[in-house]
Amino acid sequence: MLDKKAYSTIFYARRSVQIGINMSIKAVFLDLDGTLLNDEKIISQKNISTLKHFASKGIKFIVSTGRNYTGTLSVLNNINFIDYIITSNGAAVYDTHTGKPIITDFMSNGLAISLAESLDLENIMFDIFVNGEAYMEEKNIEFLKHVDTPKAIRSFILHNRIIVPSIMDYLITSKKDIEKVTINFKTLPDGTIFKRAETIDIIKSFLSLSCVTGGSNNVEVTLSEATKGHAMRKLVNLLNIPISDTAAMGDSENDLHIIETAGVGIAMGNADDMVKSAADFVTLTNEEDGVSYALENILNL
């Protein structure tokens, strides 16, 4: 039976939902970092086994992440039943069978250049996601050493990025539209996150852009309409799945809209308070196989 106690177990938070009684969940949207992945950026065997079980019962699982497409595939080697991946916080939805996006909300190349010109690129780490890949300026290999982020995330960034001499030159010469911009910052000895507040103020002056954090005090920039929640709505419309028959799990600000939009919103035990407050339920943490726990309690199959 479902325990409706505080944050160590799933509990009722927002809307009236019957658990395990006539539930008709057909699609579950799963964030990666802080949700399906543990702190070592690995999907536990418990989570994999639970996903396989419910997939065999007809539940469709869709990954919903701030990562780029290739960076998402790198952690899904043991899972071959995920047909779609929402990437870059909703800027693109990829079909895993073709490797091509079927839904896009890209930032124009000109807008990305205008944003880059407005920011202090010498004192921030300005990475761009383009066509499923992630690009980083060469100088930021050294810059990353001064970013206060877990070792596993730092390692992922270094192995996931394509290094270019200059991000600005790449934008100008490639003329490609942008899925997402990810900005990381130096942390000073006194704990101050250098240039973060000023950077956010500049981003907010671009009315067609929005910024959220995906964890570790970063800033992730997309078109305002490019959210995980909007991408979910577009995808389920293509799949003829009612939004009421969906569930979504996440932990950080970039998961807020999809959790609010889904038929059932589930926050991880390690989630930001704003995410917990918006969710219908709070499960265990990502280190405690919270995804598996939630699915076993909510899906009555």
At 96-111, the pLDDT tens digits run: 999 999 999 999 999 9
pLDDT at residue number 23: 58
Mapped onto helix, strand or coil, the DSSP state of residue 239 is: helix
pLDDT at residue number 298: 87
Low-confidence stretches of the chain (pLDDT beneath 50)? 1-9, 11-22
Amino acid residing at 223: L
pLDDT at residue number 5: 34
pLDDT at residue number 10: 52
pLDDT at residue number 256: 96
> Cα angle at 82 between 79 and 84, to 5 degrees?
145
Which residue bears the tokens 């409706």? 4
Q: What is the DSSP letter of 37?
A: B
